[in-house]
Amino acid sequence: MKAFLIERYGKQAGHIAEVAAPEIGDHDVLVQVHAASVNVLDTKISTGEFKLILPYSLPLIMGNDVAGVVMKVGAAVKRFRAGDEVYARPPQDRIGAFAERIAVKEDALALKPRNITLHEAAALPLVALTAWQVLVETAKVQKGQKVFIHAGSGGVGSIAIQLAKHLGAFVATTTSTRNVEWVKALGADVVIDYTQQHVEKTLRDYDVVLNSLGADELEKSLAILKPGGQLISISGPPTPAFAQAQKLPWLVGVVMRMLSSGIRRKARKKNIRYSFVFMRASGAQLDEMTTLVEAGIIKPVIDRTFPFESTAQALSYVGQGRSKGKVIIEIR
């Protein structure tokens, strides 16, 4: 089968090659891939930025989001059968959605929402699970709380705004001038044009901040939160608790403790809890999102679609940080 893989880390790494088709175990589902989508995580993996967190062996088939049709199931699989339309964020140790076929653990897989296409479904898994695990699982957002989401026009931001509004929160976000009205249409109550306004001088007394940007924005977020608030970052720095949960080597845990010591210390002084969330695969949580999509509460947001042959260009485009929503790779 054909797959897009990297054999080394670097900005220009990656190419399509012929590789062996995946074998399936008793709890695996073999999926014929119709579409995948590109995430910022893919660009970080390909450049080697996440080597400490995700020590992959090379060559590596890329891709963290998949939608397609079940071809075959393992002997112990009970929830799926050949012909089912499904979507998933494969477990982090078995990514590989940029390929004609992929084997996915049953517990990471969900039936595709009936009211959207496979291409639209491919835009959802990683960002939807990230939003769910930040807002529902970690922050436990309640009706009436104030939530600030960085980068509202991005893949995670565009879904997180919709989910936070569904949870009953008052939602603020940031974007550039050209996207202000577009982001308002997603449901944001306050939209900060970061080219003209400073978030830390505009917003106050928020309960939750979802940070997906760099160190400067992370520190500025402390000024937005009220005492007892939560600063949750999906872009780092990772915490010792994360290293322990991932069962990373002791030395890596020490490095993460050092990297996050500054923001954890500053957060403690303000009585703010800092957390790092690294999204994990979950078919059960995708089932929850499927219900919201079928109810019209969550809608996938797609910027543009690239053919499989242009996967490298799709990665480069996402790496520029200017996409509105998700970028799709059409594989079948």
Q: What is the mean pLDDT of the segment spanning 10-19?
A: 90
User: Cα angle at 182 between 181 and 186, to 5 degrees?
Assistant: 110
297 pLDDT above the threshold of 80: yes
CB 189 within 8 A of CB 169: no
Structure tokens at 103: 């084997």
Give domain limits for the chain. 2-123+301-330, 126-276
Token code pair at residue 198: 């400073």
Q: Is the pLDDT of residue 13 over 80?
A: no
* 42, 48, 54, 55: CA torsion to nearest 10: 140
| pLDDT (0 to 100) of residue 247 | 87
- Does this chain's domain 2-123+301-330 share its CATH topology with 126-276? no
Closest CA to 189 of 170, 166, 164, 161: 170
**pTM of the predicted model over 0.95:** yes
Q: What is the mean pLDDT of residues 232-237?
A: 95
Q: Which CATH number is 126-276's, of 3.40.50.800, 3.30.310.80, 3.30.1490.20, 3.40.50.720?
A: 3.40.50.720
Cite the beta strand spans of the chain per DSSP E. Answer: 2-6, 15-18, 28-38, 60-61, 66-73, 85-88, 101-105, 109-111, 146-149, 170-175, 190-193, 206-211, 225-233, 273-276, 302-307, 326-330
- What confidence score (pLDDT) does residue 278 get? 94
Q: What percent of the chain has pLDDT over 90?
A: 90
Is the CB of residue 305 less than 8 Å from the CB of residue 330?
A: yes
Task: Share the mean pLDDT of the chain.
Answer: 96
Give the list of residues 6+ apart from residue 194 with CB closer than 8 angstroms, or none: 174, 175, 176
Residues 249-269 pLDDT 10s: 888 899 899 999 999 999 999
pLDDT of residue 173: 98
Cα-based angle 235, 237, 243 (whole degrees, multiple of 5): 110
Helix 125-132 crosses helix 155-166 at what angle (to 10 degrees)?
Answer: 50
Tokens standing for residue 80: 């799926």
Q: Note whether 41 and 65 are within 8 A (CB).
A: no
Say if residues 120 and 302 touch (Cβ distance below 8 Å): yes
**Four-way CATH pick for 2-123+301-330: 1.25.40.10, 3.90.1640.10, 3.20.20.330, 3.90.180.10:** 3.90.180.10
CA distances from 143 to 135, 158, 166 (A): 12, 19, 9
The share of the chain scoring above pLDDT 70, in percent, equals 100
Residues 21-64: tens digit of each pLDDT: 999 999 999 999 999 999 999 999 999 998 888 889 999 999 99
